[in-house]
Structure formats: C-alpha cells, structure tokens
C-alpha cells in the first residue's frame, strides 16, 4: 500500500497527535508499506510578529498555503494512495481528498461538545465555536473512520451528517512497553528523579490539567480520604504542573495527608510510579480512550475510575469504579461524592491479598488487549480493505 499520513503541524503545541501519526508511519513502514507524512510548514508563522498574532498566521499556513500544496501534490500520486488522517481535528483538510481513498482516526469530541454547550465545565468562546464548526464540516465530508472507543464512535455518528461507509473501533495500543517493575527496578528509576518510595507506598494520579481529567476531583477524594483515615497514604500527582487551585486544595488537606505534584517524568519513571503505587485514582469526567488506565493495569497497579464509557471499556472487569462527579455548576452532591469515593479507596486498600492478586491478574489480561502490534494489525487490515474496495469500484 501507498499511504499518505496527515498530521498536525510541528509548530502547534500538541505532542500526542504527531507522535500518534509517527507511530502509524513507522508501524506501516515496518510492515512493508510505503508511507509519507504530510503537514503544514511554518511559513507565515515564522514571521517576527507579536505572539497574539502567531495563531492567525498559523491558520494561514494550515488552511491556505497547505491546501494549495496538497492540490499540487495530488497530481503526482497514484489513484489508489490511501490518505490517513491521524486526527479528526484535521477536518478542514478532509475535503481536499474526500473523493479519494481515505480514513480518519477519531480520538475524542471534547472540544466539539464544549463548543456546542454540552460541557458546563468548559465553556467555549465565539472564535472557538467557529473553529470547531469548521472542523465538523470538514470531517463530515469523510466516509471512513476508525474510533478509539465505542463511546467515541457513538459521538462520531451523532455528529456526522450521513451514515459513513466504514466506521470501525480499534483500541489504542500502548506507546511504551509498560510492565510490572520489580522493587529494585522501580526504586532505582524513581531515585533518579530524587524520589524515595514511602514504606507504605502511595496513591497515584497520572494526567494533565485538561478539564476532563478532573484533577481537582482527585484532590477532593484525597482530602476526604485523609479525613477518614488515621494514617493515610500520600498522594503523588504525576503530570502537568499544579494550578493555583490545585495547590490551594492540596494545602487544605487535614491530618497526616500529603500531596506531591511531580512533573517531567520520563516514560520509564511513569512506569516505575505505576509499579510502586498501591492504587491509581482516575475519576475523569470524560476521555477519548483513557491511556493511564491501560498503562497502570499493564504495570500491575489497580485502578479506581469513573463508571462511564470509555473508562469502563478500557478498565473492563479489572478496574474498580465510582460514579461520575456531579457537575461543578450544579453545586450539590460534590462533598458526598468525594466522601463515598474516599470510602471506596479505603475498601480497595483493605482487600485481602488473594483478591488483590486476582484483580492484578485480570488487569494484566485486560491490558494485553492494548498491545501495539495488535492495534497496528487492525489498522493494516482496515487500510487494505479500503484500498481494495476503491480498486474494485474503479
């Protein structure tokens, strides 16, 4: 197969999507397919202008200059070339090749849902609403899609103006070989970050500061747990630097509770944290997939997460669940939610060793579904079907 993989420009702040595109490119190349990555280059974006104008110059590069380049390049490509969009947010480029074989990888619709007023925690301004509408009109001209979860596919079908000719679900493959480290291994990896594992271990959260990660909710649960428990385990918050609100909430934790915010971890150190932790608390409002759930289970760390898809898809029967935190705008029930979640934390930590071992084994089995080679094989099969279908139609 000949594949052209379209991805986000390098001059944008996103790291995960270019890495996802590179994973596809390298994986398909290793299987003997021809791969080329296309994206917008920073021409106008490089001009020495005030930072507030950079975004608009980037739009010129993405939506005026790059489409002109694509139209010129299309004349040189074989008609059975498959165009692979690494993210549905590249929707404005879809009309350029909608008449040719293509497939669009779909990750999540948090931004689009926010722009439509469906997410009270994340209101969107006028320009953001226009941008999301542009993206939706673009991917709405697509015909073939691969979603990272059943929940994401359900959202996709809700937002499409027509029934797609192909719409498959392929779970993400782990992009690092997460595994259960031995105590000497994880102790050495964390020591390199200046950290010593407490004798009683710790609770863990891994994630960024996006609204849907609900990191304030993690801290609310921990604060309630510290109030309920005489000798609470410390909490490690691994990922983005704490916001002022997070720091204030962490400082308000009573008793012997202690919160550490830890940033700049390598993948190996994240793996070590999962391996050393007693429990990962991951009460997201929403996810497209939920990488940390799969990562933690692959390292033998039990997970407490939200009892909604796609968290339930990734966690399966191996994870523990709590209800979704009440919307902050509603105001009612948040304290009760945190108290009940904290009680659940204590219950999980008190489980007999044999029950804990069973859950860990279930977690290893569940995480095996997210093997990157299995994911790549599923992509390859779909890609080949789309190309063969196009040839047959021609």
**CA–CA gap between residue 258 and residue 273 (Å, rounded):** 16
Do 269 and 377 have their domain in common?
Answer: no
* Mean pLDDT across 282-305: 97
CB 24 within 8 A of CB 107: no
Q: How far apart are CA 235 and CA 45, in angstroms?
A: 41
Domain of 127 in residue numbering reads as 2-173+372-393
Q: What is the pLDDT confidence band of residue 35, given thresholds at 50, 70 and 90?
A: very high
H, E, C per residue of 291-350 = HHHHHHHHCCCCEEEECCCCHHHHHCCCCEEECCCCCCCCCCCHHHHHHHHHHHHHHHHC
Looking at the fold, whether 365 and 383 belong to one and the same domain comes out as: no
Specify whether 147 is located in the same domain as 232: no
Contact of 39 with 10, CB cutoff 8 Å: yes
Q: Are residues 161 and 43 in the same domain?
A: yes
Least confident residue range of 16-20, 32-36, 82-86, 170-174: 16-20
Contact 156, 109 (CB under 8 A): yes
Q: Is it the case that residue 331 has pLDDT exceeding 80?
A: no
For the residues 208-212, what does the mean pLDDT come to?
94
Q: What is the domain count for the chain?
A: 2
Which pLDDT band holds residue 203 (cuts at 50, 70, 90)? very high
The predicted pLDDT at position 332 comes to 64
Residues 356, 357, 359, 364: is their CA dihedral positive or negative?
Answer: positive
| Per-residue model confidence as pLDDT tens digits over 128-175 | 999 999 999 999 999 999 999 999 999 999 999 999 999 999 999 998
Q: What percent of the chain has pLDDT over 70?
A: 98
Mean pLDDT of 370-394: 89
Asked if the model's pLDDT at residue 394 lies above 60, the reply is no
- The two three-digit tokens of residue 87, written as one number: 């993210």
> Is 8's pLDDT higher than 70?
yes
User: What is the rounded distance in angstroms from the CA atom of residue 64 to the CA atom of residue 198?
Assistant: 55
pLDDT above 90 as % of the chain = 90
Query: Which residues contact residue 385 at a Cβ distance below 8 angstroms, ignoring those fewer than 6 apart?
Result: 166
129 shares its domain with 219: no
pLDDT band at 17 (very low <50, low <70, confident <90, very high): confident
Give the Cα-Cα-Cα angle 45, 113, 243 (nearest 5 degrees).
Answer: 65
Residue 129 belongs to a domain: yes
pTM: 0.93
Q: Are residues 190 and 309 in the same domain?
A: yes
Is residue 343 a contact partner of residue 351, using CB atoms and an 8 Å limit? Answer: no
Q: What are phi and psi of 174, to 5 degrees?
A: -60, 135
Are 199 and 323 contained in the same domain? yes
Chain mean pLDDT for the chain: 95
- In this structure, are residues 25 and 15 in contact, taking their beta carbons and an 8 Å threshold? no
User: Which domain CATH number covers 136?
Assistant: 3.40.50.2000
State pLDDT tens for residues 118-130: 988 899 999 999 9
Q: What is the mean pLDDT of residues 202-211?
A: 96
Q: Is the pLDDT of residue 16 over 90?
A: no
Domain-located, residue 167? yes
- What is d(CA 340, CA 294) in angstroms, rounded to the nearest whole number? 24
């Amino acid at each position: 197969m000949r594949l052209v993989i379209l991805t986000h420009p390098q001059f944008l702040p996103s790291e995960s999507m270019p890495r996802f595109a590179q994973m596809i490119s390298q994986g398909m190349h290793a299987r003997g397919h021809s791969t080329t990555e296309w994206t917008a280059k920073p021409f106008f974006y490089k001009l020495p202008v005030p930072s507030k104008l950079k975004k608009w110059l980037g739009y010129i590069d993405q939506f005026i200059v790059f489409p002109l380049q694509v139209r010129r390049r299309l004349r040189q490509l074989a008609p059975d070339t498959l165009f692979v969009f690494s993210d549905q947010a590249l929707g404005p480029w879809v009309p350029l090749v909608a008449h040719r074989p293509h497939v669009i990888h779909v990750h999540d619709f948090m931004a689009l849902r926010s722009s439509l007023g469906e997410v009270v925690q994340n209101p969107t301004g006028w320009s953001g609403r226009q941008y999301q509408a542009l993206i939706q009109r673009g991917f709405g001209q697509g015909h073939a899609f691969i979603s990272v979860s059943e929940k994401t596919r359900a959202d996709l079908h809700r937002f499409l103006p027509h029934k797609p000719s192909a719409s498959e679900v392929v779970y993400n493959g782990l992009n690092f070989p997460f595994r259960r480290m031995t105590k000497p291994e994880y102790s050495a990896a964390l020591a390199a970050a200046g950290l010593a594992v407490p004798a009683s271990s710790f609770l863990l959260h891994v994630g960024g500061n996006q609204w849907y990660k609900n990191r304030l909710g993690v801290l609310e649960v921990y604060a309630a747990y510290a109030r309920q428990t005489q000798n609470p385990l410390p909490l490690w918050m691994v990922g983005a630097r704490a916001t002022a609100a997070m720091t204030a909430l962490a400082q308000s934790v009573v008793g012997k509770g202690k919160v550490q915010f830890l940033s700049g971890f390598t993948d190996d150190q994240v793996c070590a944290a999962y391996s050393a932790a007693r429990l990962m608390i991951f009460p997201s409002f929403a996810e497209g997939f939920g990488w940390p759930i799969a990562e933690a289970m692959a390292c033998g760390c039990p997970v407490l997460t939200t009892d909604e898809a796609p968290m339930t898809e990734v966690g399966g029967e191996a994870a523990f669940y709590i209800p979704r935190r009440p919307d902050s705008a509603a105001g009612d029930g948040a304290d009760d939610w945190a108290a009940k979640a904290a009680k659940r934390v204590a219950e999980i930590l008190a489980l007999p060793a044999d029950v804990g071992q069973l859950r860990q084994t279930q977690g290893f089995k569940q995480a095996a579904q997210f093997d990157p080679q299995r994911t790549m094989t599923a992509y390859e099969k779909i890609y080949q079907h789309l190309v063969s279908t196009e040839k047959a139609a021609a």
